[in-house]
Amino acid sequence: MLNNKHWYDMEFADSEDLHALILEAGKVRDSYWGDTVTYSRKVFVPLTNMCRDECGYCTFVKHPDNPAANIMTLSSVSETLRAGDQLGCKEALFSLGEKPELRYPKAANMLNALGYVRMLDYLRDMCEFTLRETNLIPHVNAGTLTETEIKQLKPVSASMGMMLESLSMQLMRRGGPHYRCPDKSPKLRLQTLENAGKHQVPFTTGLLIGIGETWQDRIDALLAINDIHRQHGHIQEVIIQNFKAKPGTAMASVIEPDIDEMLKTLAVARLLLDPSISLQAPPNLQQHHSDYLAAGINDWGGISPLTQDFINPECAWPNIDTLAESCTAKGFQLRERLTVYPDYLTSEYVDASIINRLIASADVSGLVTTFS
Ligand SMILES: O=c1nc2n(C[C@H](O)[C@H](O)[C@H](O)CO)c3cc(O)ccc3cc-2c(=O)[nH]1
Ligand SMILES: C[C@H]1O[C@@H](n2cnc3c(N)ncnc32)[C@H](O)[C@@H]1O
Ligand code: SF4
């Protein structure tokens, strides 16, 4: 409680309240995560940029008629993975558009030409290839997933993720960012979190901030994530990601969330969520690293020495040494981690053969497999 208000009812916190909120959130982070802040060295594999959805903020998506629309071939996947492997990456982040073959015959044909009917079958085989041919470990970010799809992907990946983004139905209406986006239905997204929980998949989710959601929508989404985690225990991290406006999209002129809005959301997330859930914010979408640390984060997510952030290509990754210095200046030490957090390195959560690979790759590089 701050000035007799419950902290998460503060739609318009004044700067004094915000400061108090941040201090509390920082304490929670300190007590659970200590002074270690982590990141995952990854290579990004945008398996396809075609998608059956058309989110109003997304420049990653390409219509099949666009000459830039593509599905990566085995050889380009292989080339990317090998280059990442050589640069010491541990994670292969497969991030892709959702089931384009169900909407566009042209996408279905491109997939057929590679010998597949369903994009997720191709994804499974590419994950299998990654495990067989490289030292990298797949993390799958393919949007909504059914139980069958999760069962299919679990043996070939260490962890999976999908941004819940928001539970607001308003965003689905005509003129909203999720109009004509069947996979952004809050019901389907919650179902995906549930499906992953049932099958004990270490899972990443998160909120996209500034796409037209209300403050209450954010609280509702955080509470829903926490509830699902209480039932299944599988949410290893929550990302609080700020919307970036992109020229050429429907949301090109929408104002991006300001730093106070982000800090308030981060602090509330840290106070609302189970302390064991890692709180992540991408380091390339804003310049306020010290403030973010103060507001309770303990992780920067994936950083790539090789590939750009294909979803926000205009936002370069920070130099890892520079980021480490910002952390040190605030009393934290930056450490590399695996795509799976230490608590989830058990055979219920990860296929036994993948666990061995994870532990081996951590040992070789002196990574964190336990937090002190
Ligand atoms: O480079 C990015 N990595 C993204 N990642 C990867 C993330 O940064 C980490 O590499 C993984 O979460 C591993 O912990 C996501 C992973 C998910 O499961 C769900 C959503 C995202 C979103 C992004 C993203 O927008 N850009
Ligand atoms: C990988 C995640 O990236 C997010 N995403 C897609 N477009 C943008 C944007 N313009 N700004 C910030 N995040 C975005 C989506 O939430 C997706 O789930
Ligand atoms: S954000 Fe994901 S679901 Fe939305 S259009 Fe882009 S690729 Fe498709």
> For residue range 348-357, what is the model confidence (pLDDT) as tens digits?
999 999 999 9
Ligand 3: centre distance to CA 143 (Å): 8
Q: Considering only CA atoms, which residue is closest to atom 18 of ligand 2?
A: 163
CA of 285, nearest ligand number = 2
Residue type, 7: W
Identify whether 369 is part of a domain.
Answer: no
Q: Considering only CA atoms, which residue is closest to atom 6 of ligand 2?
A: 58
Strands 159-161 and 137-141, sheet pairing = parallel
Asked if residues 296 and 28 have their Cβ atoms less than 8 Å apart, the reply is yes
Q: What is the pLDDT of residue 365?
A: 72
Please name which of 175, 179, 172, 254 lies closest in space to residue 210, comparing C-alpha atoms: 254
Distance CA 65, CA 198 (A): 38
- For residue 250, the domain's CATH number is 3.20.20.70
Structural domain count, the chain: 1
Q: What is the pLDDT of residue 10?
A: 57
Q: Using a 6 Å cutoff on CB, does residue 304 contact ligand 1?
A: no
Q: Is the predicted pLDDT of residue 276 greater than 50, yes or no?
A: yes
Phi, psi of 84 (to 5 degrees): -65, -45
- Average pLDDT of span 330-342: 96
Query: Which ligand 1 atom is the nearest neighbour of the CA of 302?
Result: 10
Identify whether 33 is part of a domain.
Answer: yes
Q: What's the CA angle centered on 217, arms 273 and 21, to 5 degrees?
A: 50
Could you tell me if the ipTM is greater than 0.90? yes
Identify whether 97 is part of a domain.
Answer: yes
Inter-axis angle of helices 215-232 and 186-198, nearest 10? 20
Residue spans of alpha helices (H) in the chain: 15-33, 74-86, 105-113, 119-133, 147-153, 186-198, 215-232, 259-272, 289-294, 320-329, 352-365
| CA distances from residue 120 to 148, 156, 317 in whole angstroms, order as listed | 11, 12, 29
Ligand 3: centre distance to CA 51 (Å): 6
Domain span holding position 74: 10-360
Phi, psi of 243 (to 5 degrees): -65, 135
Q: Ligand 3: which of 44, 47, 55, 62 to mutate, most ligand atoms within 8 Å of CB?
A: 55
CA 344, 349, 350, 355 torsion-angle sign = positive
Asked if residues 263 and 295 have their Cβ atoms less than 8 Å apart, the reply is yes
Identify whether 338 is part of a domain.
Answer: yes
Identify whether 216 is part of a domain.
Answer: yes
Identify whether 86 is part of a domain.
Answer: yes
Tens-digit pLDDT profile for residues 13-52: 677 889 999 999 999 999 999 999 999 999 999 999 999 9
Ligand 2 is surrounded, with C-beta below 6 A, by 57-58, 95, 141, 163, 165, 208, 241, 243-244, 246, 311-312
Ligand 2: centre distance to CA 58 (Å): 7
Identify whether 342 is part of a domain.
Answer: yes
Identify whether 365 is part of a domain.
Answer: no
Q: Is the predicted pLDDT of residue 4 greater than 70, yes or no?
A: no
Tens-digit pLDDT profile for residues 157-169: 999 999 999 999 9
Residue type, 248: G
Predicted TM-score (pTM) of the model is 0.95
Q: Is the predicted pLDDT of residue 1 greater than 50, yes or no?
A: no
Tens-digit pLDDT profile for residues 225-264: 999 999 999 999 999 999 999 999 999 999 999 999 999 9
